[in-house]
Structure 1
């Protein structure tokens, strides 16, 4: 009866679940900033949004944030420096909540809250077996 309630057999898919999560979230983060990377007009719109939201030095912060999110996404997909990327993801989206999303309430902050928690899970758990980090760890 305990096995029926706790489903320990699902633990066998742990590494595949982490791989799927990393690829999905990482791809979403890359997709989310790709327009800012490839279009000066989109980047200018993002700079204006940061200025309107009260961020300091939006001309510097906008490209910095875009490239940080892009790097986090690539890192998640590859499973490379995943714990660092998780920390950066969590911090980045805490800032998004504090500076922007909080005015939209729980519903409006939910996406950023999920990204904070995904970052925390990847920072504390690591990427799973199917990752470049696992290959690097095996070599030491």
Structure 2
């Protein structure tokens, strides 16, 4: 009796679509999550103050750095451009957030940051998949 069905090999054909959907959802989440800080100096000032209270060095520099990193990573994920680099930046940014802010709050509050660390690592190691700018550019790159 053939036991291949136990491993559902027919689902492997949907890997690129699954990566695309994951990139779109995570990227849109990152963009949406920082948009208010980008368009509002008051919201950015609130974030700077929050980072200061949490013990971050130079919150006046760290706040915009984190906000713009998340925004650009979100765009990169949506487009599937420089996805491995964006994944590394995402993982690093949210590892810092996890250690400095979320971990002491417990598993439930820390889960979003932990998930973003993992998504960053997944995209950094697997890449964007075939439905991406990375794939289009890679195919056209000279060897």
Show the counterpart of 2:111: 110
The superposition leaves residues 96-139 of structure 1 with CA deviations (integer Å, 9 ceiling, x where unpaired) of 01100011111111111110110001000000000000011001
- The count of corresponding residues between Structure 1 and Structure 2 is 140
Matches of 1:5 and 1:81, distance apart in 2 = 35
Matches of 1:2 and 1:31, distance apart in 2 = 44
Q: TM-score, normalised by structure 1?
A: 0.97
Show the counterpart of 1:19: 20
For residues 72-83 of structure 1, what are the structure 2 equivalents within 5 Å? 72-83=73-84
Matches of 1:127 and 1:2, distance apart in 2 = 31
Matches of 1:2 and 1:126, distance apart in 2 = 30
Aligned CA-pair RMSD = 0.8
For residues 1-140 of structure 1, what are the structure 2 equivalents within 5 Å? 2-140=3-141
In the alignment, structure 2 segments of 5+ residues that lack a partner are none
Matches of 1:86 and 1:42, distance apart in 2 = 26
How far apart are 1:5 and its partner, in Å?
A: 1.7
Describe the SS at the equivalent of 1:55. coil
Matches of 2:119 and 2:29, distance apart in 1 = 13
Q: TM-score, normalised by structure 2?
A: 0.95
Runs (4+) of structure 1 moved beyond 4 Å? none
How far apart are 1:3 and its partner, in Å?
A: 2.9
Matches of 2:109 and 2:33, distance apart in 1 = 17
